[in-house]
């Protein structure tokens, strides 16, 4: 093809000049961004976890900073201590605390805790899952707006397909979602019993909740027949049920998870020695599951425990993990981003939409 007479002539010299100019611009841009990033990471005033915080009425959750995820500490667990702030009453039968986690004197995470008195509050799971292909996913803030609950936190794990279906038994107001039996389940959070003589709110460890002979039968076999004979009757006696795995720390002091290097945000429900229910949510990604169990065990044996936990069960972790408090005296929000560190995609400032949450509602 012959060039048109109307096409401008471009000399090789001018093309080479443009290439050099473009290379200089790209190089200058890379150097500038590198310097800015270095200054950003070196600035001690940048908060370690800027995506969380105590919020005033009308304020929004702070947008995420990449520095928060570039600074995730290594999972090494040594010389770990807790700086326990005082418990703060935030409503009838509700108290709030933020406990700073130090490793060798350096802050590595913070754990937000809500303490719930079962005599004054009930738990109510809410799900947007209805059937295969039908699932309403919302952020914690949107779920709180819908329910007007003073405390909302994420529930157990759910499936990618069918989208949003619970991985284990979930009962909301007596309606069951998800599979009734999964061999790997180890415990359940229950509320609102349908018969007398049962606790209003309880955390069941299937290895200890029932008499030793019946519990050991299910623990040994993990069969559906053993489940139906031992576990199912108790779960059927509650209107609200969130079954999950694993039991993180049991009443005998055993940490019942394997050691791994997997760090993530964590949400844990627990029962203390006074019968209160605790909801713990880490604000950062320091903890592996095993190390969080180790922390709770070490705290139990300390002279002045911050949590004094008898039994603890893990809920969903990673980006779905979150806790939101909205009462007259406290507005607090902490939730993970879409993606999260260690993944191929992290959308900064966009909170994770999840299909199921657990609400704390005051008793009438």
Q: What residues does each domain of the chain span?
A: 52-362
> What pLDDT, on a 0 to 100 scale, did the predictor assign at position 287?
97
> What pLDDT, on a 0 to 100 scale, did the predictor assign at position 207?
86
CA angle 149/279/261 to nearest 5° reads: 130
CA 74 to chain centre: 19
3-state secondary structure 281-349: EECCCCCCHHHHHHHHHHHHCCCCCCCCEEEEEECCCCCCCEEEEECCCCEEEEECEECCCCCCCCEEE
Q: Strand 247-249 to strand 277-282: parallel, antiparallel, or no bridges (unpaired)?
A: unpaired
Residues β-bridged to residue 309: 272
pTM comes to: 0.80
**Are 336 and 322 spatial neighbours (Cβ–Cβ below 8 Å)?**
yes
Taking residue 285's Cβ as centre, other Cβ atoms within 10 Å add up to 27
Report the length, in residues, of the chain. 364
Longest pairwise C-alpha distance within the chain: 97
Kindly compute the dihedral angle of the four CA atoms of residues 38, 40, 44, 48, in this order, to the nearest 10 degrees: -120
Q: In whole angstroms, what is the distance from residue 188 CA to residue 247 CA?
A: 9
- Measured CA to CA in angstroms, residue 255 lies from 2, 50, 248, 310, 343 at distances of 78, 31, 6, 12, 27
> What pLDDT, on a 0 to 100 scale, did the predictor assign at position 212?
54
Q: In whole angstroms, what is the distance from residue 136 CA to residue 358 CA?
A: 15
- Measured CA to CA in angstroms, residue 74 lies from 44, 47, 112, 292 at distances of 19, 18, 21, 14
> What pLDDT, on a 0 to 100 scale, did the predictor assign at position 39?
38
Dihedral sign computed on CA atoms, order 36, 42, 45, 47: positive
In eight-state DSSP terms, residue 354 is B
CA 110 to chain centre: 13
Residues β-bridged to residue 52: 334
- Measured CA to CA in angstroms, residue 198 lies from 181, 274, 352 at distances of 22, 16, 35
Per-residue pLDDT of the chain (364 residues; tens, 9 = 90+): 443 433 334 343 344 455 555 555 555 554 444 444 443 334 333 333 333 334 333 433 333 344 444 468 999 999 999 998 889 999 999 999 999 999 999 999 999 999 999 999 999 999 999 987 799 999 999 999 999 999 999 999 999 999 999 999 999 999 999 999 999 999 999 999 999 999 999 999 998 876 655 555 677 778 898 888 889 999 999 999 999 998 999 999 999 999 999 999 999 999 999 999 999 999 999 999 999 999 999 999 999 999 999 999 999 999 999 999 999 999 999 987 655 444 434 444 568 899 999 999 999 9
Q: In whole angstroms, what is the distance from residue 145 CA to residue 231 CA?
A: 35
> What pLDDT, on a 0 to 100 scale, did the predictor assign at position 42?
40
> What pLDDT, on a 0 to 100 scale, did the predictor assign at position 85?
80
Q: In whole angstroms, what is the distance from residue 224 CA to residue 228 CA?
A: 6
Residues 6+ apart with CB under 8 A from 75: 261, 263, 286, 287, 288, 291
Tokens of 344: 């191929």
Phi and psi for 250 in degrees, rounded to 5?
A: -105, 175
- Nearest residue to 164 (alpha-carbon basis) of 140, 144, 134, 141: 134
CA 200 to chain centre: 24
């Amino acid at each position: 093809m012959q060039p048109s007479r109307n096409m401008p002539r471009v000399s090789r010299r001018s093309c080479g000049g443009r290439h050099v100019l473009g290379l200089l611009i790209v190089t200058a841009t890379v150097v500038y961004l590198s310097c800015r990033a270095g200054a950003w990471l070196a600035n001690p005033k940048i908060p370690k976890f800027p995506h969380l915080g105590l919020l005033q009425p009308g304020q929004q959750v702070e947008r995420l900073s990449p520095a928060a995820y570039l600074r995730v500490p290594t999972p090494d667990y040594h010389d770990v201590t807790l700086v326990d702030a005082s418990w703060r009453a935030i409503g009838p039968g509700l108290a709030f605390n933020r406990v700073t986690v130090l490793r060798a004197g350096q802050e590595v995470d913070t754990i937000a805790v809500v303490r719930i008195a079962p005599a004054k509050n009930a738990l109510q799971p809410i799900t947007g899952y209805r059937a295969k292909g039908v699932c309403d996913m919302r952020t914690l803030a949107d779920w709180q707006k819908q329910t007007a609950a003073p405390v909302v936190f994420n529930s157990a794990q759910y499936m990618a397909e069918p989208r949003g279906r619970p991985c284990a038994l979930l009962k909301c107001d007596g309606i069951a979602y998800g599979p009734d039996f999964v061999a790997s389940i180890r415990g359940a959070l229950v509320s609102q019993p349908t018969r007398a003589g049962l606790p209003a709110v309880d955390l069941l460890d299937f290895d200890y909740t029932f008499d030793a002979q019946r519990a050991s039968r299910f623990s040994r076999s993990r069969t559906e027949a053993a489940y139906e004979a031992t576990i199912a009757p108790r779960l059927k006696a509650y209107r609200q049920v969130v079954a999950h795995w694993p039991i993180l720390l049991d009443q005998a002091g055993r940490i019942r998870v394997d050691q791994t290097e997997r760090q993530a945000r964590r949400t844990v429900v627990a029962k203390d020695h006074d019968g209160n229910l605790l909801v713990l949510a880490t604000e950062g990604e320091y903890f592996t599951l095993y190390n969080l169990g180790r922390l709770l065990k070490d705290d139990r044996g300390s002279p002045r425990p911050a949590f004094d936990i008898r039994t603890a069960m893990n809920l969903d972790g990673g980006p779905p993990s979150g806790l939101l408090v909205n009462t007259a005296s406290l507005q607090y929000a902490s939730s993970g981003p879409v993606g999260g560190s260690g993944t191929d995609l992290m959308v900064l400032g966009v909170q994770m939409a999840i299909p199921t949450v657990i609400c704390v509602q005051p008793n009438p």
